[in-house]
Amino acid sequence: MSDSDDPRGGSDFGRRVRLRRAVGALALAAVPALLVAAPLVPLAVLLGPAGLGVLTPAALGGIPPVVAAAFAAVALGLGGSALAGPVLADRRIARLPPADLDDRHEAFVDDRVSTLAEAVGVDAPTVTVVRADAANVAVADGFRGGRLVVSTRLLALPAADRDAALRHALVRLRTREAAVTTALLPALALVETVALLATLLVGRCADRTAADRRVNRIHGYEPEEDRVPPRAYTVAGVLLWLLLLPAWVPAAVGDRLYVGGGRRDADAAVARLGTAERDGLGNAVAFAGDAAGAADWPPLLDRLSLASMADAETGRVRGTSRQEARFRLALLRSKRSL
């Protein structure tokens, strides 16, 4: 279907989608560069002509030390993240509990994924079926090739729902959205972890009762007075947030525009195939959001998944909308998805 045939706004809609994806991708790509630049640029300032004078423009081929450090931060940040991303995803997948399927069921899953991959127009990825209560599927991509992680609960869904969820993952593989997200996963995971720590420090509660303190002292691990005042935790959390803010803002913007937008774009691509695919995908997304087992799905694979299963705290720290699944379902069940 061409942009001019798209009932959701024609070529204008297509341009908006491409612009949104481009802005989101640039925001995500800035995250690893900013993380590396945080120590590198101040070091260049210290060692440059205005500091110790160890680094001079003449020694760097006429390039000022700060500019050279900025270029090095971009190269090292993006290059290091792209190399570490697939390795990080593979190691996390290797720690997941295997499903222990028999040969017949494994062959069926591989054949189904191969058939759908051929229909989507991508090479069939390596499939790993894991024993998980979460009805979800994640797709990773990189120099090690495509990887598809499928939970046994997703495979237990009706055939139309299961195939629509698998097709959704393969569409993200075709559009290279999975490759970009996998490449930037280490930097995004680091930002999210530090943001969670800062949030916990800011929100640390110290309202223990006198009875709680007495019981703790009896057991020998509660001092009479707090060794660290509660206000110190708050100050430390605020300072950590201020230091993290330059990297957190583009990470949150990229999550909203590129990762969340990529899911919706894949929704639209699957929905345009027909009513059965649209209804099946809607059922799979709804079931993934409503069924138990979210804690059983690895947080590291959340950005690579059909449906986000981040808890409320992680979702707020990441800057994503809590209503993402509901919004996607509303689009799938409306005329816009056609």
Whether 36 has a pLDDT exceeding 70, the answer reads: yes
What phi and psi, each to the nearest 5 degrees, are found at residue 223?
A: -70, 165
**Number of helices (H), then strands (E), in the chain:** 13, 3
- The Cα 338–Cα 330 span in angstroms is 13
51-65, 167-181, 228-242, 302-316: segment of lowest average pLDDT: 51-65
pLDDT in tens, 104-157: 888 999 999 999 999 999 999 999 999 888 899 999 998 888 999 999 999 999
Classify 139 as helix, strand or coil: strand
Give me the helix-helix angle, 230-254 and 185-202, nearest 10°. Answer: 150
How high does pLDDT run on average in the chain? 84
Q: Which residues pair with 328 in a beta bridge?
A: none
Tokens of 89: 């995803």
Structure confidence at residue 325 (pLDDT): 83
Nearest in space to 193 (alpha carbons), one of 42, 6, 31: 31
pLDDT in tens, 148-201: 999 999 999 999 999 999 999 999 999 999 999 999 999 999 999 999 999 888
Amino acid at position 64, single letter: P
The DSSP code for 259 is: I
More confident of the two residues 331 and 58: 331
